[in-house]
Amino acid sequence: MTKLVPGVVAALGVALLVPLSAVAAQPFPDPVADASLAATKGSETAVLAGGCFWGVEAVFDHLKGVKNVVAGFSGGSKSTAHYETVSTGRTGHAESVKITYDPSRVTYGQLLKIFFSVAHDPTELNRQGPDEGTQYRSAIFYENAEQKKVAEAYIQQLNQSHVFRRPIVTQVTPFQSFYAAESYHQNFVEKNPTYPYVVYNDLPKLGHLKKEYPNLYRR
């Protein structure tokens, strides 16, 4: 994430405070192709990339049915899975989150609905807000055939419905590995609610989640 001085933050804040719903041309639909809720409790994982992992982690931390969220890196090798190295944009990694969830409480498709409508803008190529580079790309790292099917079908559904004013550029790619980021990146929004970047880029996402999806929001 870009290091911002107060003056720059203030200048960017006007644009960044616009909720993601303003980017969409119409309300978000549920995914047509999605698995039903599981009959019994369990644990499954989803790995998603949508710009700076601070805000994406915070959004899913407040989603019912999610057990744990870890900020980290996916798409590159273990030897380069370090924040300063990933920040060069030359490692193949994307800042990502690994979400562990209970499929009896929330489906993979519902996670993707929040990913597309709240967590980030999937029409921005290799950037999110003030952050630029391939490490900030939008990506879904699917772990099995069902996740791939749901992801590809939902992207096609959203594009065909013109939910966004621009085409979705999210990559749907096979999961290979995930490496947790340094400890100071974990739960960053919760620990630093007054940090300027968080105030202007991440807290509005939580407000949007709470307002638009009160049935899925948890404190």
Q: Digits of tens for pLDDT over the chain (219 positions)?
A: 544 333 333 333 333 444 454 455 567 999 999 989 999 999 999 999 999 999 999 999 999 999 999 999 999 999 999 999 999 999 999 999 999 999 999 999 999 999 999 999 999 999 999 999 999 999 999 999 999 999 999 999 999 999 999 999 999 999 999 999 999 999 999 999 999 999 999 999 999 999 999 999 998
Give the three-state DSSP class for 160.
helix
pTM for the model stands at 0.90
Tokens of 216: 């899925």
Bin 97: left if φ > 0, else alpha if -120 < ψ < 50, else beta: beta
Q: What is the pLDDT of residue 219?
A: 86
How many other β-carbons are positioned within 10 Å of the β-carbon of residue 60?
Answer: 26
- The CA–CA distances, whole Å, from 6 to 13, 87, 130, 133, 197 equal 10, 22, 14, 22, 9
Give the CA-trace dihedral at 186, 189, 191, 193, to 10 degrees.
170
- Separation between Cα atoms, residue 154 and residue 42, nearest integer Å: 24
Helix locations, 49-144, DSSP H:
53-61, 83-86, 108-114
How many other β-carbons are positioned within 10 Å of the β-carbon of residue 41?
Answer: 9
Residues annotated as catalytic are: 52
Q: What is the pLDDT of residue 27?
A: 77
Q: Please name the CATH architecture into which domain 33-212 falls.
A: 2-Layer Sandwich (3.30)
- Separation between Cα atoms, residue 102 and residue 108, nearest integer Å: 10
